[in-house]
Amino acid sequence: MTRRGSPDNLSHAQESRRLLWLRIWTTMTLVLGFNYIGWRWLASVNWANWWIAVPLVLAETYSIIDLTLFSITIWRSRQREDAPPPPLDSDVDVFITTYNEPVELVVETVRAAIKIDHPHRTWVLDDGAREDLRQAAETLGAGYITRGDEWHGKPRHAKAGNLNNALLQTQGEYILVLDADMVAHPAILDRTLGFFSDEKVGLVQTPQHFINVPPSDPLGSQAPLFYGPIQEGKDGWGAAFFCGSNAVLRREALMEIGITGYVDATQRTVINRLKEARVLVRHSLRGADPSAQEILVQTRNAIDHALAEISRAEPIAEVTYVLHRKLSQLSHATVGDDMAQLADDLDALGFDQAAFNIDSEEVISRLAALDLSPLNAVEAVDRTLQAIDIGRSDEAQAVLPMATISVTEDMATSMRMHARGWKSVFHNEILAEGLAPEGLAASLTQRLRWAQGTMQVFLRENPLTLRGLTLPQRLMYFSTMWSYLSGFATVVYLLAPILFLTAGVLPVSSYAEQFFLRFIPFMVANQLLFVFASRGLPTWRGQQYTLALFPVWIKACYTAAANVWAGRPLGFAVTPKAGTRQTQIPWGLIGWQLAASIALVISIVVGTIWLVTGHAEPIGTLINLAWVVFDLVSMSALVGAVRYRGYHADEETR
């Protein structure tokens, strides 16, 4: 077991000094960054070429905001001390989630889970309903859970649904969640359960580390910056979030957000139906005869009273029941009055009332329930309210502890947990090790799903407006979501130097001394900030992929928006891991990056020719040539990725 992000095992005093110097450097970097972007907006935008100049300065502004959010994150970077010993009577369920992974891979994970030191029960959550896996799990002594008939024809919600299904069939006070390939260390519970001595802690997350990644990490799988300074920083602000595996969760916290989520969803549905009914009554009031207006006004007042009761947190079932009875009484009374008037009219004409039996309660009740009622609006309102589905009949479960609003359940679940006042812990110690994708196609599938899920959460439950979160928590969640917008900025960063070198289009009014005095110090400080924040961990690969995967980030944004706003399905693809080695070079997966790289190379050739022949402004050309080279170096990460043939043990020594 090793700590990630703290290779030197610094003492508390040393860590405090390190954090102080990091804050000083962060402050200096931000001052230089805002000085640069302020000058760009006020003095250097080339308005003659506004169509590229404005997008460029907007992209730079995006990057400054991104830097600011990163700086806020690492400002309170927190390296926790070890947890106290866990209580011996802690009741733990270990959940191993699987769908279509090879049985032998899952079995290895089950064996390791059963050997965890702390007393627990191990469960295989098989969304694939495979009989051979059931037999293997039961032979090893693990429980086996799959979906029941109640899920047929209902939304399955992928991994979130798998976990929710198991939560309602188990009783453990704590839940350790492991992906099918994540082999846990025996001490994983002993090293994490002690944090739950604080009764408000609902989540303890540990890093995800992969054993099949060579030191060169060609696919950028290890994410040392995220599972280090970033998660430690979020932890410092009380916002370390659930990453889907290698985490222990408190059942009480999960069930609370599931129940409150059900109540909130039901309340929203009832309120929306009541508002629809009120609009219906208002429309009916227009042009209604005087005899009908009084009853419609009473109906509207009854709806307003129900809305007021709900706003005062009165039980929804009781409020809607009272409203239903009131509407029934109004309809019944109205028909009764009309029938009485009819009886009087018949009597005046000399007809025998007994022949019509118009005083019959049965006749009045039937007429009150039919469209023959002179106040059909009252009946329409009642039908609208009766359509409320309090039992969530469209779902297999009424209570959904794990959030189902996204293809990635983890971030949304922990965000809701934080909004309810639960705490989280990031324990930066490797306590489980798994398998990363061994091919570019699988890696891109994984990253696209992460990005899509994050943007779904942003569009459905924006942390900036979600009630219950503190301001730092809002910023910590928002910073992760904001980072996936970088694809749009990257397009501008690629296009601007190409246009200058090939067509002489200048987005900056001048590359004179003022530019160098502001830009160079800022860029140097910015790059060194990542070095200092990472404490020597390798983060360059991650920076390369932030730029090189711009088509993935853009696709994630527009597909998530189409899903949330237009209902277009995203689908759910389980990340292939075992057996995913590439047999051919998948150049087609990086078509956009290849096109951009070719354009960058052409711009270097053209810009160099113009520079040598004296037809280009020297300083601006050299700056843009350096810019293009940086872009190409970032893109070069994909060359190793498409040529990668999978992990071999002997690569560890290379």
Q: Give the separation between CA 458 and CA 465, rounded to whole angstroms.
A: 10
Is the distance from CB of 529 to CB of 26 less than 8 angstroms? yes
Q: Which residue has the higher pLDDT, 292 or 232?
A: 232
Flag whether pLDDT at 114 surpasses 90: yes
Q: Is 142 exposed, middle or buried (0-12, 13-18, 19+ CB in 10 A)?
A: buried
Q: What is the pLDDT of residue 562?
A: 96
Strand order in the sheet with 247-250: 143-145, 121-126, 92-98, 174-179, 247-250, 201-205, 423-426
Flag whether pLDDT at 361 surpasses 60: no
Kindly indicate the confidence band of residue 653, based on its pLDDT and cuts at 50, 70 and 90: very low
Kindly indicate the confidence band of residue 524, based on its pLDDT and cuts at 50, 70 and 90: very high
Q: What is the pLDDT of residue 362?
A: 54
Kindly indicate the confidence band of residue 43, based on its pLDDT and cuts at 50, 70 and 90: very high
Residue 92, strand partner residues: 174
Tens digits of per-residue pLDDT, 134-159?
999 999 999 999 999 999 999 999 99
Is the distance from CB of 302 to CB of 335 less than 8 angstroms? no
| Alpha-carbon distance values, 307 to 4, 267, 271, 320 (Å) | 52, 10, 7, 10
Q: Give the separation between CA 50 and CA 70, rounded to whole angstroms.
A: 29
Q: What is the pLDDT of residue 458?
A: 97
Strand, helix or coil for residue 30: helix
Which range of 142-151, 268-277, 282-291 scores highest in mean pLDDT? It is: 142-151
Q: What is the pLDDT of residue 489?
A: 98
Q: Which residue has the higher pLDDT, 412 or 615?
A: 412
Flag whether pLDDT at 613 surpasses 60: yes
Contacts with 654 (C-beta within 8 Å, 6 or more apart), sequence order: 214, 215, 216
Q: What's the mean pLDDT in 340-349?
A: 58
Q: Which residue has the higher pLDDT, 354 or 193?
A: 193
How many C-beta neighbours within 10 Å does residue 22 have? Answer: 19
Is the distance from CB of 419 to CB of 469 less than 8 angstroms? yes
Flag whether pLDDT at 192 surpasses 60: yes
Q: What's the mean pLDDT in 630-652?
A: 83
Flag whether pLDDT at 42 surpasses 60: yes
Q: What is the pLDDT of residue 292?
A: 73
Range with lowest mean pLDDT among 69-73, 333-337, 554-558, 649-653:
649-653
Q: What's the mean pLDDT in 278-307?
A: 83
Range with lowest mean pLDDT among 24-33, 291-300, 362-371, 542-551:
362-371
Q: Give the separation between CA 584 and CA 567, rounded to whole angstroms.
A: 36
Look up the pTM and report it. 0.88
Domains of the chain: 92-249+399-442 (3.90.550.10), 260-386 (no CATH)
Q: What is the pLDDT of residue 538?
A: 85
Kindly indicate the confidence band of residue 487, based on its pLDDT and cuts at 50, 70 and 90: very high
Q: What is the pLDDT of residue 583?
A: 61
Kindly indicate the confidence band of residue 372, based on its pLDDT and cuts at 50, 70 and 90: very low
Q: What percent of the chain has pLDDT above 70?
A: 87
How many C-beta neighbours within 10 Å does residue 36 have? Answer: 22
Mapping DSSP onto H, E and C, the string for 238-297 reads CCCCCCCCCEEEEHHHHHHHHHHHHHHHHHHHHHHHHHHHHHHHHHHHCCCCHHHHHHHH
Flag whether pLDDT at 263 surpasses 90: no
Range with lowest mean pLDDT among 250-254, 441-445, 487-491:
441-445
Tens digits of per-residue pLDDT, 92-105?
999 999 999 999 99
**Mean pLDDT, the chain, whole residue set:** 88
Q: What is the pLDDT of residue 374?
A: 42
Tens digits of per-residue pLDDT, 325-334?
887 787 776 6
Q: Which residue has the higher pLDDT, 410 or 511?
A: 410
Q: Which among 468, 495, 520, 370 has a CA at the least distance from the CA of 52?
A: 495
Range with lowest mean pLDDT among 38-42, 315-319, 362-366:
362-366
Is the distance from CB of 411 to CB of 480 less than 8 angstroms? yes
Flag whether pLDDT at 605 surpasses 90: yes
Q: Give the separation between CA 401 and CA 256, rounded to whole angstroms.
A: 7
Q: What is the pLDDT of residue 376?
A: 65
Kindly indicate the confidence band of residue 173, based on its pLDDT and cuts at 50, 70 and 90: very high
Range with lowest mean pLDDT among 299-303, 334-338, 399-403, 538-542:
334-338
Q: What's the mean pLDDT in 14-39?
A: 95
Q: What is the pLDDT of residue 344?
A: 58
Q: What's the mean pLDDT in 278-293?
A: 79
Q: Which residue has the higher pLDDT, 357 or 539?
A: 539
Q: What is the pLDDT of residue 8?
A: 46
Residue 122, strand partner residues: 94
Tens digits of per-residue pLDDT, 439-482?
899 999 999 999 999 999 999 999 999 999 999 999 999 999 99
